[in-house]
Amino acid sequence: MNRHPQQRIAVAGAGLLGRLLAWQLLRDGHAVTLYDAGDLATPPAAAWTAAGMVAPLAETVVGERCIYAMGRVALERWPQWLDKLQAPGLWHPHGSLVVAHPQDENELTQFRRDLDDAIGQPAGYRALDAAGIHALEPGLAGFRHGLYLADEAHLDNRGLLNRLLEAILELGGECHAHTPVTPHPGEIATPSGRRTFDLVLDCRGHGAKPSHPTLRGVRGETLHVHTDEVKLSRAVRLMHPRYQLYVVPKPGGHFVIGATSIESEDRSPISLQSSLELSSALYTLSPAFAEARILEQGVNLRPAFRDNLPHVTRGDGLIGANGLFRHGYLLAPAVVDHVLAEIRGEGERPFAAVLSAAAPQESLP
Ligand SMILES: Cc1cc2nc3c(=O)[nH]c(=O)nc-3n(C[C@H](O)[C@H](O)[C@H](O)COP(=O)(O)OP(=O)(O)OC[C@H]3O[C@@H](n4cnc5c(N)ncnc54)[C@H](O)[C@@H]3O)c2cc1C
């Protein structure tokens, strides 16, 4: 039985945070209205472009230590949520593999040192030789050394977003596609007028920039390919002196190769250079990828604050959650737990020091 008074709640943005929060709030018995500027079946969200890796170890190497602690929450929460969504097959907890070609093995050594520094001992990886790599991923060719990060996972993120939308509709959520909105305390401004609510959640990702001038978009490009010639069971990261790329297996012989990280808010199509780097990285993982068919080229903006950490802002009648940057699937569970605790008035908010802190205001140099 719901212990909380039912509220009329509007959620602006049906990307990752918007869908997760709408679903959870409907489960809590609230009346939820969800708006997105784009289509709901193939949303313009970064969450749709993303690879869906849940990588607390590898992401802590490039981020703050608190990412690791929040990421550990994700490893626990995703299987629970997917169970409730009756979609456990979307979760792939088989670890991830980090490899480098023989000429780039210094990069692997450095990554291992960085991992030790970032996490401390034991850092939760296992060093592999060629036989160990082959045992895990027989589809890879020519690697002598690698690292197996057992405590990492990936999600079928598009399957998740679709399932969340179904669940929201099943629970009676009201959904509006192609409706760009402006959230205000207790009110949503739509192209056709204003509507009042008890509470408004701003989950617009990079679309919230007009409300948060210090929010920036970090361009990320991906390729989606299909082949039946190569099988992978887990995400594979390729260390390289100029870029670090990954390949994430998706259902039906699909793979996502990503991702560039460019300090630009340009949403124009993928550049020739990025396309070449992504496809050649894939080809060097295994020549069997040569005949893969390129299905899609993805471009989107990761929403980031100056400190590259997520922040939750709370005012009367308006809560904003944003800044998930490159760690959306990794950090969303901790952020969603925090926002729900705010709404439910629960005391336990383990990441309040990070999430409730004001986002840094200074602009980029
Ligand atoms: C190439 C790429 C790869 C990535 N890979 C990973 C990964 O492997 N693992 C990981 O953890 N993270 C990854 N990420 C990051 C992750 O996708 C984001 O952190 C996450 O999607 C942010 O969630 P969000 O809900 O804040 O924003 P989004 O998912 O972008 O959703 C925002 C939604 O708001 C809507 N919107 C915007 N403005 C308005 C408006 N005015 N009115 C109504 N709706 C509006 C948008 O249409 C969109 O649907 C990746 C991102 C990119 C770009």
* pLDDT per residue as tens digits for the range 23-81: 999 999 999 999 999 999 999 999 999 999 999 999 888 888 899 999 999 999 999 99
Distance (Å) of CA 354 to CA 2, 64, 299, 360:
29, 11, 29, 12
DSSP for 278-342, written as a single string = HHHHHHHH-GGGGGPEEEEEEEEEEEE-TTS--EEEEETTEEEEE--GGGHHHHHHHHHHHHHHH
- What is the torsional sign of CA 188, 330, 298, 305? positive
Ligand 1 centroid–CA 216 distance in Å is: 12
The CB of 45 under 6 Å from ligand 1? The reply is: yes
The CB of 67 under 6 Å from ligand 1? The reply is: no
The CB of 217 under 6 Å from ligand 1? The reply is: no
Ligand 1 centroid–CA 331 distance in Å is: 12
The CB of 302 under 6 Å from ligand 1? The reply is: yes
pLDDT at 63: 83
Q: What is the pTM of this model?
A: 0.96
According to DSSP, the residues that pair with 217 across neighbouring strands are: 303
Structure tokens at 319: 């809560």
User: How far apart (Å, rounded) are the C-alpha atoms in residues 343 and 201?
Assistant: 10
Ligand 1 centroid–CA 170 distance in Å is: 23
Percent of the chain topping pLDDT 70: 98
Q: Is the pLDDT of residue 364 over 60?
A: no
Ligand 1 centroid–CA 342 distance in Å is: 22
The CB of 326 under 6 Å from ligand 1? The reply is: yes
Ligand 1 centroid–CA 135 distance in Å is: 35
- Helices (runs of H) and strands (runs of E) counted in the chain: 10, 20
Quick check: 342 and 314 in contact, CB under 8 A? yes
Tell me the CB-side half-sphere exposure of residue 151, using CA atoms within 13 A.
19
- 123 phi, psi to nearest 5 deg: -85, 0
Structure tokens at 31: 């009346």
The CB of 18 under 6 Å from ligand 1? The reply is: yes
| pLDDT tens per residue, range 97-139 | 999 999 999 999 999 999 998 888 677 899 999 999 999 999 9
The CB of 256 under 6 Å from ligand 1? The reply is: no
Ligand 1 centroid–CA 48 distance in Å is: 7
The CB of 310 under 6 Å from ligand 1? The reply is: no
- What is the torsional sign of CA 235, 300, 59, 338? negative
Instruction: List strands edge to edge, sheet with 311-315.
Output: 174-176, 31-35, 8-12, 199-202, 318-322, 311-315
Distance (Å) of CA 306 to CA 61, 103, 309, 311, 333:
18, 35, 8, 11, 21
The CB of 16 under 6 Å from ligand 1? The reply is: yes
Ligand 1 centroid–CA 303 distance in Å is: 7
Index of the ligand 1 atom closest to the CA of residue 13: 34
The CB of 181 under 6 Å from ligand 1? The reply is: yes
Q: Is the pLDDT of residue 213 over 50?
A: yes
Index of the ligand 1 atom closest to the CA of residue 298: 1
Of residues 120 and 173, more confidence is placed in 173
The CB of 220 under 6 Å from ligand 1? The reply is: yes
Ligand 1 centroid–CA 29 distance in Å is: 26
Quick check: 108 and 99 in contact, CB under 8 A? yes
Burial class from Cβ neighbours inside 10 Å (0-12, 13-18, 19+) for residue 9 reads: buried
Index of the ligand 1 atom closest to the CA of residue 326: 15
pLDDT at 365: 42
Ligand 1 centroid–CA 336 distance in Å is: 14
* CATH numbers and ranges of domains, the chain: 8-49+157-215+306-355 (3.50.50.60), 96-150+216-303 (3.30.9.10)
Question: Which range in 111-125, 237-251, 324-338, 350-364 is most confidently predicted, on average pLDDT?
Answer: 324-338
